[in-house]
Chain A
C-alpha cells in the first residue's frame, strides 16, 4: 500500500499542470501499468509454468503533442517461478522438481496517434521498438547455464483512453510484441520449435496529466 501511494504521488508530482479547458500543446504524463500477456511461445510457457499467460507490472511516461501525437516510454517486469521439465517428443511432460525462475524486463519506446473522436474517449494506435532483458536461473545450474541476455523487438498496440478527471485518465489497449533471439536455441523452446518471447498483452494504464 505504501509503495502504491508513493507511486501515485510520484505520478502526480511529475504531471504537467492541467489546463482549465484547452488541452496543452505538450503534456508529460506519467503512468503505471499492469498487463496480462499471452505468450506466443505457448507450448514453452505451458510446459514450464503450466500456463501460457503471465502478468507484467510497470510504468512509464507519455509525451502528448497537440493532444494527438503521443510518444511513450515504459518499462515493466514479468517474473515467474516454475520447474525444469522433461518433455517427450510425443508431448508428455514430466516435472523434475528443480526450481526455475524466468524474468523478463521490457523497455519499450513507441510513437502513436490519438484519434480526436471525443473529449472523453480517445482511441489510439502506436508502434515502436523495445529492448528486452531475459534472465533464466535454475537450481543446480553452473554459471554458463543461467541465461542473462538482452534482445530487441518491436511492438504495435491499439486501444482507448478514457478521461476520468481533467488530470487523470485510464487506458486499455492490446499490444502485440515480437522478440526474437532469446528463445529457440535451447531448452524446451528449442525442442518445441518456438523462438518468439513476445505475445499479445491486454494492458491497463492509469495516467496522470492531460
Chain B
C-alpha cells in the first residue's frame, strides 16, 4: 500500500534543505511531458522473480521514504427438453428401435441419427424425466447403453502462460468457476482505480531532474534535462488501446493524463482487469471491465518532476467524487493512511456509495509496526457498500504485514514473500523497478528512469488484496446485484470463513469467494 505519507520525508528533506536548486521556475508541463502518445512500445521483460515489492521488503523503507460473452443464457436451452443418447445393439432394425422408443417414453422422439455418432439421439419432452427415460432404455436387452446428454459448461482456465504457474491468487478465490458463470467478466462495468496512475499510453517526457538529498543525507546530483521513455502496459490497454479507458484523470497534476510513475497503480489495475486468455502474461479478475485511472497518489518521480499536488485527503476525496460522477460503478482504493480521522474522504466515500458505487479499500500493511488503525479502511467498515480488505498469503494464512482490527471486513490474496520468496507475491504487469527506481542506486549510478520496460512483477500488500474484491464486485454488478450494500452483503455472506469461526479482526468475514458470490442461492441449496 502506498500511504499518503509515502513521500513525506523526502518532501521535507528537499524543501527544508533548499536544494531544489533553480528548477522551481520552470513550468510544470515543460518539466513533465515532452510528447504524449509518442513513444516506443514497451520492452517486456516477462516474469521477474528478482525481488518482491511491497511492505516489509528490503528496500521498502527507502521507497516509502522517497516513493473481465455471454450471459449464461441457458434459459432457452432448458425449454428444449433433454436428449438421451441410446446405443442399440448392432444391427437392430429401425422399426425395432422406434418400437423401443415408444415402449420407454410417452414423449420421446427418435431424431435422425447423426453421421458422426454410433448412437441414436432420442429427444424427450421438457416435462418428462430424461434420466428415467435413459434408465428405462438401459434396462432393455436391445440397448448397450443409454445416457442423458448432459450439458457441459466451460471450465475456463485462462491460457495466459503465467496464470498456471504464478497466479496462485486467482484460483484461491474460486475465479475459474466464477468465469464459467460470467464469461463477460464485467464487460459493462467501469472500475475506477484511485492510485498512482496507470501506464495507459506511450509518451516521451523531457523533464529536468533536480538534485535531491535522500533520507540518509546523501546528495544526488541534478541530471539536467533528460528524455524519459514511457510505454503503456500492453496487457492493460492491449489492442483496444484507449478504448478500454473511461475518463482518466490526474489529481496530482490536475489534467487528464494520469501517468503512473511508480508502477503501483498499473499493478493494481492489472489485478482488477489485466487482459486475459490472450496467451500473454498474466490474467486479471474482471478482465473485460472498463478502467478509469484516477491518479490521487504522487510518486517519488511526481515529486521530482514538481507535481503541484500531493496525495492528501482533499486529493483523494476529489478523486472519489470524480469517479462517482463519471460513470464508475466500482472504485478500488489501494491506498490509506493512519492518524487522525478523514471526514473529507468519508464524505466522498458516502457520496460515491450513495450514487451506487461499490468501493474496495485495502486494509493496511502495518501489523508489525504497532498495528495502528487504518483510517480509510476504518471508514469502509461504517459504510455499507464499502469494504476494507485484509491480505492473506499463499497458504491462506494471515499475511504477516496485514493490519488487523475491528474494521477488517474481508480478506483476499495480498501475497507475501516471507516464507514463500518471490513466488509468494501477486504477479501483474508493471514497470520493472530496476529501470524506474533509480533513486535507490548510489548517487554515482543515479540515472534517469525508464518507464518503458515492463515485466510481471511480484508485489505484496493489502493493496494487492483489494483489487481482487473490486474485480469480483464488478462481476457481481454485471450479474445483477446493483446495490453497493447488497454487493458487500453478498461478498461477506459467501466468504470462506478463516481463523476464528465467524467474523474476526484478522480476516473479517473471511476469504472472498467469487464463484459463491456470483452463484447466489437456490431454494434449498
Chain B CB count within 10 A is highest, among A88, A145, A188, for A88
Alpha-carbon separation in the docked complex, A145 to B522 (Å): 10
List residues of chain B with CB within 8 A of the CB of A87: 521
Asked if A139 lies at the interface with its beta carbon under 8 angstroms from chain B, I say yes
Q: Are A136 and B520 in contact (CB under 8 A)?
A: no
Decide yes or no: A97 and B72 within 8 Å by CB, A136-B525, A147-B524 being known contacts: yes
Decide yes or no: A98 and B519 within 8 Å by CB, A88-B486, A139-B74, A140-B181 being known contacts: yes
- Of the listed stretches B13-21, B52-60, B133-141, B477-485, chain A binds B477-485
Beta-carbon contacts of B478-499 to A below 8 Å, as 1s and 0s? 0111110110011000000000
Asked if A138 lies at the interface with its beta carbon under 8 angstroms from chain B, I say yes
Q: Are B483 and A140 in contact (CB under 8 A)?
A: no
Decide yes or no: A48 and B485 within 8 Å by CB, A96-B480, A99-B75 being known contacts: no
Asked if A134 lies at the interface with its beta carbon under 8 angstroms from chain B, I say yes
Beta-carbon contacts of B113-149 to A below 8 Å, as 1s and 0s? 0000000000000010000000000000000000000
Q: Are A188 and B521 in contact (CB under 8 A)?
A: yes
Asked if A79 lies at the interface with its beta carbon under 8 angstroms from chain B, I say yes
Q: Are B522 and A188 in contact (CB under 8 A)?
A: yes
Interface size classification for chain A: 35 or more
Asked if B523 lies at the interface with its beta carbon under 8 angstroms from chain A, I say yes
CB proximity to B under 8 Å, residues A2-60: 3, 41, 44-45, 48
List residues of chain B with CB within 8 A of the CB of A48: 522-523
Asked if A100 lies at the interface with its beta carbon under 8 angstroms from chain B, I say yes
Decide yes or no: A92 and B520 within 8 Å by CB, A98-B72, A136-B525, A146-B525 being known contacts: no
**Nearest CB to that of A185 among chain B residues?**
B524
Interface size classification for chain B: 20 to 34
- Within the complex, the shortest CB–CB distance from B517 to chain A, in Å, comes to 8
Alpha-carbon separation in the docked complex, A19 to B314 (Å): 95
List residues of chain A with CB within 8 A of the CB of B524: 134, 136, 147, 182-187, 189-190
List residues of chain A with CB within 8 A of the CB of B181: 98, 140
List residues of chain B with CB within 8 A of the CB of A182: 524
Asked if B406 lies at the interface with its beta carbon under 8 angstroms from chain A, I say no
Asked if A84 lies at the interface with its beta carbon under 8 angstroms from chain B, I say yes
Alpha-carbon separation in the docked complex, A6 to B212 (Å): 96
Q: Are A84 and B520 in contact (CB under 8 A)?
A: yes
Q: Are B127 and A45 in contact (CB under 8 A)?
A: no
Q: Are A86 and B481 in contact (CB under 8 A)?
A: yes
Alpha-carbon separation in the docked complex, A101 to B81 (Å): 12
Asked if A68 lies at the interface with its beta carbon under 8 angstroms from chain B, I say no
List residues of chain A with CB within 8 A of the CB of B483: 88, 92, 94
List residues of chain B with CB within 8 A of the CB of A41: 523
Decide yes or no: A86 and B521 within 8 Å by CB, A97-B72, A140-B153 being known contacts: yes
Decide yes or no: A147 and B525 within 8 Å by CB, A94-B482, A94-B486 being known contacts: yes
Q: Are A136 and B523 in contact (CB under 8 A)?
A: yes
**Nearest CB to that of B178 among chain A residues?**
A140
CB proximity to A under 8 Å, residues B500-525: 518-525
Alpha-carbon separation in the docked complex, A136 to B524 (Å): 8
Decide yes or no: A84 and B72 within 8 Å by CB, A97-B480, A99-B78 being known contacts: no
- Which residues of B are at the interface with A, using a C-beta cutoff of 8 A? 71-72, 74-75, 78, 106, 127, 151, 153, 177, 180-181, 479-483, 485-486, 489-490, 518-525
- Which residues of A are at the interface with B, using a C-beta cutoff of 8 A? 3, 41, 44-45, 48, 79, 81, 83-89, 92, 94-102, 134, 136, 138-141, 145-147, 182-191
